[in-house]
Homo-oligomer: A and B are copies of this chain.
Amino acid sequence: MERTMEEVCEDTCTGSELAADDWNGTRIDEQTAIDLAELFKALGDPTRMKLIYALLDRELCVHDLCVILNMTQSAVSHQLRYLRNVRIVKRRKTGKTVYYSLDDTHVKEIVLLTIQHLAHG
């Protein structure tokens, strides 16, 4: 991308109390922004949110998740793959059935914190 605002703006804009070169700390690293967004995007769908919520405290097999969400096995399986790709969820196989659980406690903390915030909305 290139400069998008007119040059003159930089001289006339009195909007910020900061000097133009004193924006360190306000600019996030590009890759960090992408990584953060990727994680949040994974949480940003009702179906995946329900899956994650169901897995907050226990592992569950695909079938049980289908019943809980009342959705087709295919749709659930596709979303589980999505969540697995971004390391939110992990698999454990026993015979024919595959158990899913949260990959670590990070996401649980984030979700619980956010639920609190919604409650005090």
Q: Known pairs A33-B49, A36-B118. 16 more at Cβ < 8 A?
A: A4-B66, A5-B63, A5-B73, A15-B99, A16-B61, A23-B68, A26-B54, A26-B57, A26-B68, A28-B49, A28-B53, A36-B114, A36-B115, A39-B118, A42-B44, A106-B114
- Interface residues in chain A, defined as those with a beta carbon under 8 Å from any beta carbon in chain B: 1-5, 9-10, 13-16, 18, 20, 23, 25-28, 30, 32-46, 48-50, 53-54, 57-58, 60-64, 66-68, 70-73, 97, 99, 106, 109-111, 113-115, 117-118, 120
In the complex formed, the residue of B with least CB distance to A71 is: B4
Instruction: For residue A90, give the distance in angstroms from its CB to the closest CB of chain B.
Output: 14
Known: A33-B49, A45-B37, A54-B26. A113 touches B115 (CB 8 A): no
